[in-house]
A and B are shown apart, each in its own frame.
Chain A
Amino acid sequence: MSADGKTGDATKEKGLLYMGIDLGTSRTSVAASNGVRTTLSSHVGYPKDVVARKLLGKEVLYGDDAVDHRLSLRFYRPLAAGVLKASQRTSEDVEGNMKAAADLIREIIRLGKPKADELVYGVIGVPAQAAIHHKDAILKAARESLDSVILCSEPFAVAYGLDMLEDVLVIDIGAGTTDLCRMHGTMPEDSDQLTNTFAGDYVDDQLATLVRKRYPKAQFTTRMIQTIKERHGNVSDAMPSVVVDLPVDGKPTPFDVTEDLRTACRSIVAPIVEGLSQLIATFDPEFQHKLKNRVLLAGGGSQIKGLDTAVEEEMRRRLGQGRVMRIDEPVYGGANGALKIAHDMPAEFWEKLK
């Protein structure tokens, strides 16, 4: 495709595979131009010793496979708050996290099934306000597997994938971050985007705290809490009761966590609407009502039942009005949008970024 856009996909070069990658704290998703679309939990594990290696029969384990065998592994969740832990420089094992991130990207690209001789060009969504050293770390990890890489804002990718480029507010709730982005017909600038950490992991922490407080004898891990949230997450007043079995002194015991779960899930609503308020208040007053009525809810966190309604209610309370739409494919929204950007990017632009 030429830069002037006079030609379309009919002249796309063969031997090129475009990929849109949503590199998330909890899940990494990919959509590729060969029709493959897949997702993987963002966990990587390496056998701790020879015995574990022999038992598992693999040098590296990914996703749920790694989670299932994490006791036998040096276990990594290389992304936190939507960026590589290695780039935060607070992690104890910077090298390990960096290697795990590179391996995770390599694996997700492999799952995209590129042909051996195809060049792979990828667009990776990053949090709206990722710092330069975070982007650097992602680029370093990605360049080992991609022939050309472009980074773009995650919420922008979601909106672009849905062709909603004008007067839209995007809420992309991930595990590590919630990204908010104001689309007004041009490329969003820094002032159009907000990132906060009131996301999936925050809900997990809140739920764990509440359950621990209410049932001090109950034993659980973060992973168990996350599973409860993913299965039963709901913010509705009329949500069905949630009773889960948690061990007490080794014996599975039923606990009612309905109230705690609702409270934890609701804990992100107010911060999200607070962010929306900031973006709306700084927008042209004539068009503020349009923004309020076109709010897109995306990302894995958007799967919490009733969240769209809860955000609408909070918007009405604080901003007078609001209409929230949940996107059809929360898990793939970012990857689909990134793939669309990859396709629309002229070939010569890719060449410049090799």
Chain B
Amino acid sequence: MPEFQVVRLSEAAQSLFSAEDVERLMRAEFDRALRHKFSLVVMLVGVDRLGQLQDLYGWDSKDEILRAVVSMLRGSLRDSDLLGLTQDDRLLLVFPHTTPESAGLLARRMLAGARKLRFDRDGRSLRISLSIGVSNNKQPSELSFETLVAVAEDGLSVADGAGGDRFVETELYQLYEKKRKSRSRARETAGLAPEAPARIVAAVPSPEAKKSEGPRLTAEDPIGLALLELLAQQGFEGGNFVDIDPEMVATAIRRAQEARTAALPEVQQVPASPEEILEKQRQIEILERRIAKLTQALGMTEQDLARVMAMKGIDSGLPSVYKNVQGLTGGEPEFERKKAMMLTILEANLALKRELEK
């Protein structure tokens, strides 16, 4: 795990790894994922009610909480994962070689980790929780990095609005991609430089630290094992490798990730904890609200369609309202007789069906 340095906004410029560098790394990883068609997940993490905590307990408290959160996140991140701090004190994470399914597990782990954090202030023990927006590049059409960040931002907003302590993926990819393209065209027309939606300002891994303080890759580690296998396949055995092709490392990571994903069903068979059940219930609640919202939007769309069809003289049909007959009810005098007749008709038709299938 590389050393992550969380710095204040004022310190960003003095950081060894500039904000631009982090964003460049994230974009490079995104481009690589696009080129090699591997999955990549983007998360935007916010600490719930962080502004209020800062107002109550001061700037240092906010800084301490952010440091603690980043420290906790280390437990969920791999060497290849990237993390940055955005202007609005949110953490942007990029997980290469991570499937959308694994993203859910990762997010849950982060949420559970944050719930365990404790801060003592004025004799009181403070607890925190996170809101996480999730997005991934495994979509039917090609998307930009900006769109993934925008979708994650939207998810974070929904999670935060719903009370926090949850993760959300809004799936509004096409909407944000369309908006981005529109903005991009406008900026091009105006002669402006492309926008930088990530707005990374700090929380960067130091390249020096990565070399000197990063964890040792051993044969016990799944990635290390996969890498060794790859090297053996290429004819490299033993000896020191001063410079390993990053692409080869990426391949090893992907294989290890695939192995991890393959093992996921076993993990899922573990009985869910009360917290997980609660989380699922919250997710269901959110989904239901989203469905209600979509249904409302669908109703409006149907009205529009009906209007257009009426203008073009297209017959949209009539809804079934059972005008002619009332259906079989238990109160009818001939109910039992008719019920038996319906059963006989069914049996005759089933027999016919069987006969014809022979």
Contact = CB atoms under 8 A, between A and B. Distances in A.
Interface of A: 1, 4-9, 12, 14-18, 31-37, 113-116, 118, 132, 135-136, 139, 150-152, 160, 163, 165, 185-187, 336, 339-341, 343-346, 349, 352-353
Interface stretch (B76-84, B100-108, B221-229, B313-321): B313-321
Query: On chain B, which size bracket covers the interface?
Result: 35 or more
Contacts of A160: 338, 341
Contact of B344 (A32, A139, A187, A353): A187
Contacts of A132: 352, 355-356
Given A8-B327, A135-B352, A34 B342 contact: no
Interface of B: 315-331, 334-335, 337-346, 349-350, 352-353, 355-356
Nearest to B334: A165
A12 B321 CA distance: 10
Given A116-B317, A118-B319, A135-B352, A187 B324 contact: no
Contacts of A150: 345-346, 349
A22 to B, nearest CB: 14
B329 A136 contact: no
A193 B330 CA distance: 29
Contacts of B342: 341, 344-346, 349
Contacts of B340: 186-187
B330 to A, nearest CB: 5
A34 B316 CA distance: 13
A109 to B, nearest CB: 11
Nearest to A19: B320
Contacts of B322: 9, 12, 18, 33, 343
Given A35-B318, A113-B318, A163 B334 contact: yes
A116 B345 contact: no
A89 B329 CA distance: 43
Contacts of A36: 318
Contact of B337 (A14, A15, A151, A185): A185
A1 B317 contact: no
Contact of B325 (A15, A139, A339, A352): A339
Contact of A16 (B320, B344, B345, B356): B320
Contacts of A34: 317-321, 323
Nearest to B351: A132
Contact of B346 (A12, A136, A165, A353): A353
Contact of B349 (A5, A113, A151): A151
Given A336-B324, A344-B338, A115 B346 contact: no
B346 A33 contact: no
Q: Which of A32, A136, A336, A345 has the most CB of B within 10 A?
A: A345
Shortest beta-carbon contacts, A-B, top 4: A8-B329, A35-B323, A9-B327, A344-B328
A116 B346 CA distance: 27
25 contacts: A4-B330, A5-B339, A6-B330, A14-B319, A17-B320, A32-B320, A34-B321, A35-B324, A115-B319, A116-B316, A118-B319, A118-B320, A132-B355, A139-B356, A160-B338, A165-B334, A165-B337, A165-B338, A339-B324, A340-B324, A343-B325, A344-B328, A345-B342, A349-B346, A352-B350
Given A8-B329, A34-B320, A349-B342, 10 more contacts: A9-B327, A16-B320, A18-B322, A33-B323, A113-B318, A150-B346, A343-B327, A343-B328, A344-B325, A344-B328
Contact of A187 (B320, B323, B341): B341
A152 B325 CA distance: 18
Given A115-B319, A135-B352, A187-B340, A345 B325 contact: no
Given A5-B330, A17-B320, A152 B345 contact: yes
A24 B138 CA distance: 55
A339 B320 CA distance: 12
Contacts of B334: 163, 165
Contacts of A7: 329-330
Contacts of B350: 352-353
A6 B343 CA distance: 16
A185 B337 CA distance: 7
A240 to B, nearest CB: 36
Contacts of B329: 5, 7-9
A186 B355 contact: no
| Highest count of chain A CB atoms <10 Å: which of B327, B334, B338 | B327
B176 to A, nearest CB: 29
Candidate in A33, A136, A344, A345 with the most chain B CB atoms within 10 angstroms: A344
A122 to B, nearest CB: 12
A303 to B, nearest CB: 22
Given A165-B337, A339-B324, A114 B317 contact: yes
A225 to B, nearest CB: 35
B349 to A, nearest CB: 5
A31 B352 CA distance: 25
Interface centre among B315, B326, B331 (most CB of A within 10 A): B326
A323 to B, nearest CB: 22
Nearest to B338: A344
B328 A8 contact: yes
B173 to A, nearest CB: 26
